[in-house]
């Protein structure tokens, strides 16, 4: 009985690998590939046998990943060191991948900030807008057109559960994710008749470098390795994925509440995660 069960598990594993390769192979492009969810997605795509273009800001990390993936999975890997906050990012990626049979884009690059909106650094907020929205828009347009012309392809756009309503003390970050969510939902309808699958992946709090950069302290959090496969399995089957139990719990527990109340609740949650950064003026104003 044990052998039979293990065999069934192996056949199931083979099926998701074969589905990804058949539907989207033989090349995938992953932004934000060097850490967090992006790195976890890279590993799963390599298991499925897809060749990879890894995009990130650390040349050293990307090259180490490429060597490891090539050794363990026998795939071809190319790296592009790139800051997607730069306006030339989409053109650079397009030129580097033009000759490749790319069938999948995983747009996992992104970062966030937290704290009082009025105390934010405008330059950093503009950089976040460029990475989370402008670059993602450009890549979705570029690869969306390529995939439509070839009659197959997939776009995984990284949204978040914070994009379903405003979030005080992470106001701009939540707004960028609302943009991604709305864009993905619409493109899923537009591009489906052209053979292109589009997914908004909306995880909850996740253990990655995100919280450190955003200045947040998280309690419960998802592990990137636990949500990568659910995201890939959802592609082509639904418009939005809430990977992991925590993502579903946090989303569905608020869904029946009026939007204004959800905003207030999320603000209290974020205040607790960023209270070490909020100035006395912010806390005093909230008590009035």
- Residues with a catalytic annotation lie at 173, 177
Angle at alpha carbon of residue 73, lines to 67 and 78, rounded to 5° = 45
Mention every residue, 6+ apart, whose C-beta is less than 8 A from residue 134: 87
Contact predicate 140/180, CB 8 Å? no
C-alpha closest to that of 130 among 85, 175, 183, 177: 85
The per-residue b/e assignment along 4-21, b for 16 or more CB within 10 angstroms, e otherwise, is eeeeeeeeeeeeebeebb
Within 43-159, strands assigned E span 51-56, 77-81, 102-107, 153-158
CA-CA distance, 41 to 224, in Å (whole number)? 8
C-alpha closest to that of 282 among 117, 165, 112: 117
Sign of CA dihedral 88, 90, 95, 97: positive
For residue 195, give Cα distances in angstroms to 18, 191, 253: 18, 7, 34
CA-CA distance, 42 to 228, in Å (whole number)? 9
């Amino acid at each position: 009985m044990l052998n039979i069960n293990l065999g069934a598990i192996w056949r199931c594993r083979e099926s998701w690998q074969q589905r990804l390769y058949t539907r989207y192979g033989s090349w995938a492009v992953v932004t934000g590939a060097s850490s967090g969810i992006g790195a976890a997605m890279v590993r799963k795509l390599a298991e499925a046998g897809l060749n990879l273009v890894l995009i990130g800001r650390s040349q050293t990390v990307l090259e180490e990943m490429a060597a490891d993936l090539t050794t363990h999975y026998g795939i071809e890997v190319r790296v592009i060191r790139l800051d997607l906050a730069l306006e030339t990012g989409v053109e650079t990626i397009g030129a580097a991948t033009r000759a490749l049979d790319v069938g999948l884009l995983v747009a996992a690059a992104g970062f966030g900030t937290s704290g009082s909106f009025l105390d934010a650094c405008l330059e950093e907020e503009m950089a976040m807008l460029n990475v989370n929205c402008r670059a993602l828009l450009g890549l979705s347009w570029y690869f969306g057109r390529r995939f439509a012309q070839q009659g197959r392809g997939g776009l995984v756009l990284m949204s978040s559960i914070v994009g379903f309503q405003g979030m005080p003390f992470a106001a701009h970050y939540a707004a960028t994710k609302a943009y991604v969510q709305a864009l993905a939902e619409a493109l899923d309808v537009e591009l489906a008749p052209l053979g292109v699958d589009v997914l908004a992946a909306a995880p909850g709090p996740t253990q990655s470098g995100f919280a450190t950069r955003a200045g947040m302290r998280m309690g419960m959090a998802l592990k990137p390795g636990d949500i990568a496969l659910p995201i890939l399995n959802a592609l082509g089957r639904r418009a939005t994925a809430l990977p992991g139990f925590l993502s579903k719990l946090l989303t569905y527990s608020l869904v029946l509440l009026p939007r204004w109340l959800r905003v207030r609740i999320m603000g209290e949650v974020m205040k607790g995660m960023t209270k070490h950064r909020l100035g006395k003026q912010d806390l005093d104003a909230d008590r009035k």
